Structure 1
Amino acid sequence: MARPRKFQEHDVLDAARQQFTEGGFHGTSVDDLSRATGLSKGSLYGAFGDKQTLFHRVFGDYCDGSDAMAAARVDGPEDEALLRLRAWLHSPEDTDPYGCLLARGTAELAAEDDAVAARALAAYDTLLDSCRELVEQAQRAGLVDPGADAAALGGLVVTTHRGLEALAKAGVDPATRNRIAEAAIGSIAS
């Protein structure tokens, strides 16, 4: 009979996520994961498989959270759609100093790991769709030119967010990042 687990899976996955976010996949050893989670290597392997399997689980969970937040941003009055986009562009101020696991995992592994590439693409498609929907809401509310390409403008917002996140990680001051966010919103507003 298997022994009951003496750890909370969520806590272990959260610690592994933080370790992968800080060190990247290639820069994180199983010893690092063992120290971060408090589990022995054997317990890690027994519960989560090898390092790549654990990364896929953590990355997938992270992307699921990103998808849920993107869906939540779409909900709300159409005349506040630009406010929700603006708030999202200002959110990189509060990001982890090591950056976003979606961005880091994509940059590090998408070219060599088909599962990471597929899950990252799905997450970015969700972000693009949610921003397109917000632009369409703003168009219906008369806040954005109704003839503008909503998908392209939504893509501009996603790209600006990713860039602002990188600037925040590099230490660019919040005032500069906020001016960039306001310029991006101003460029799509009517």
Structure 2
Amino acid sequence: MNKKQQAAAYDSGHERGRPREFDVDKVIAATSNTFFQQGYHATSIDDLCKATGLARGSLYGVFGDKKKMLLAALELFTQGALTRLSDNLKSEPGREGIHKALLHYTRVATSVTRKRGCLITNTALEMLPQDEEISGKIEAVFRKMSALLADAIVQGQTTAAFNAGLDSKATANFLLCMIQGMRVVGKVYSERELKQVVALTLKILD
């Protein structure tokens, strides 16, 4: 949804017939943070109302139900995640871009505020493979991440930064698995330990 988009809704605490305007993306960000902290099943509609400052009718009026709120939260979260990955990979060509991207994950995976993991990873662990709709959403994100990594590998191969014999798609999937693994292992490992993993990974690409 457009960041400037606003929605009008009627809350029970407001004067009858008087709409309240709110920024939809800010509401999605608040629901995203709540799902991130508590997980989907443990989050109630009352929790989401408290986090967003909106009444049930307003939330249902914009999103439809709790499941759609999670889908909207995943969409907003993944847009940011894909943009950051793309920016890091493109900031420097080939090897240095991948190195920068991987170091980003060592930091966020081990930071005090991110010890709970990430919304994508946590949702995958909680809801897959039982929920086909969520599964499709997360698979699409992972495949986009892998495609970005594969492009960076090919670029590195053209400049002899990486082994020309590497299968770019398989190697990208390997890096994706490592990134998601750091998201989980970072709950208990230090940034220094994950940086050692990154250094070993780059040697594998030689």
TM-score, length basis structure 1: 0.88
What residue is the counterpart of 1:156 in the other structure? 174
What residue is the counterpart of 2:200 in the other structure? 183
Match 2:108 to one of 73, 78, 94: 94
What residue is the counterpart of 1:66 in the other structure? 81
Q: What's the C-alpha RMSD, in Å, of the aligned pairs?
A: 2.0
Deviation at 1:136, TM superposition (A): 0.8
Deviates more, 1:133-142 or 1:63-72: 63-72
Report whether the alignment pairs 1:7 with 2:33.
no
Match 2:125 to one of 107, 110, 113: 107
Q: Is the 8 A contact 1:128 1:155 kept in 2?
A: yes
Which ranges of structure 1 fall in alignment gaps of 5 or more residues?
none
Which ranges of structure 2 fall in alignment gaps of 5 or more residues?
1-7, 10-17
Residue deviations 1:133-178, cap 9 Å, x none?
111111101011112211122122111111112122x231111111
- Name the CA distance, whole Å, in 2 between partners of 1:137 and 1:5: 50
Q: How many residues of Structure 1 are paired with residues of Structure 2 in the alignment?
A: 186
Q: Is the 8 A contact 2:94 2:152 kept in 1?
A: yes
What residue is the counterpart of 2:90 in the other structure? 75
Could you tell me the percent identity over the aligned residues? 23
Counterpart amino acid of 1:7? F
TM-score, length basis structure 2: 0.82
Structure with the bigger percentage of helix: 1
Q: Is the 8 A contact 2:89 2:98 kept in 1?
A: no
Residue deviations 1:33-78, cap 9 Å, x none?
111111122221122221111111111222233333344345356x
Deviates more, 1:66-75 or 1:154-163: 66-75
Deviates more, 1:101-110 or 1:29-38: 101-110
Q: Is the 8 A contact 2:103 2:198 kept in 1?
A: yes
Within 5 Å, which residues of 2 pair with 1:109-128? 109-128=127-146
Q: Is the 8 A contact 2:89 2:101 kept in 1?
A: no
Q: Is the 8 A contact 1:63 1:119 kept in 2?
A: no
Counterpart amino acid of 2:108? D
Aligned with 1:6: secondary structure?
Answer: strand
CA gap of 1:127–1:116, structure 2 versus 1, over 3 A, is same
- Name the CA distance, whole Å, in 2 between partners of 1:171 and 1:147: 35
Q: Is the 8 A contact 1:70 1:126 kept in 2?
A: no
Q: Is the 8 A contact 1:22 1:98 kept in 2?
A: yes
